[in-house]
Amino acid sequence: MLYVNERGKIAVIGKKGKLLRQDRIEEVLKRLGITLDDLIDMAILIGTDYNRGGVKGIGPKKALEIVKNKKIGQYIKYIPNYQEIKEIFKNPRVTDNYEIKLERPDIEGLKKFLIEEMDFSEKRVLPHIKKLEKIYERRKQSTLEAWF
């Protein structure tokens, strides 16, 4: 999976959620000899949050070959909502209208996600979860103390 942040850094995330590589987007595009549009097409061919699994039988190498040879048109029929997915990448919907509320963290859900789904080491995760619980408790207490 590809992730590009607002500073133009691109991260390549593996199947188990591990960071495989991080680089500047301009350097990646130059090295591969493609455009940002081509990179978006590659991501769609391989699979994204919006079309999990992508096109069967196409991995990164084949996708690169397809976009370099301008053959994406041959594969669009295999990608439901291709135009809509591409539009989301080119013009993501963003809002500044949100509110952050501090609520009790779902500790069990977090453990399950990090340890079972993302394959993080339990020994490394648990100390951080304990810190998170302490921060929440301290924050809750200081908020209550403000009333007295």
Confidence at residue 22, expressed as pLDDT on a 0 to 100 scale: 80
Distance CA 16, CA 19 (A): 9
Distance CA 33, CA 28 (A): 8
Distance CA 44, CA 82 (A): 8
Distance CA 54, CA 90 (A): 18
Where are the chain's structural domains? 2-90, 107-145
Q: What is the mean pLDDT of the chain?
A: 85
Confidence at residue 143, expressed as pLDDT on a 0 to 100 scale: 58
Q: What is the pTM of this model?
A: 0.61
Which amino acid, residue 107?
A: I
Confidence at residue 142, expressed as pLDDT on a 0 to 100 scale: 61
Q: For the residues of the chain, what is the DSSP string, one character each?
A: -EEE-TTSEEEEE-TTS-EEEEEEHHHHHHHHT--HHHHHHHHHHH-BTTBTT-STT--HHHHHHHHHTT-GGGTGGGSTTHHHHHHHHHS----S----------HHHHHIIIIIIS---HHHHHHHHHHHHHHHHHHHHHHHHTT-
pLDDT in tens, 14-43: 767 777 778 888 888 999 999 999 999 999
Confidence at residue 104, expressed as pLDDT on a 0 to 100 scale: 83
Distance CA 15, CA 109 (A): 20
Confidence at residue 77, expressed as pLDDT on a 0 to 100 scale: 92
Fold exhibited by the domain 2-90 = DNA polymerase; domain 1 (1.10.150)
Low-confidence residues of the chain, pLDDT below 70? 1-3, 5-6, 15, 140-148
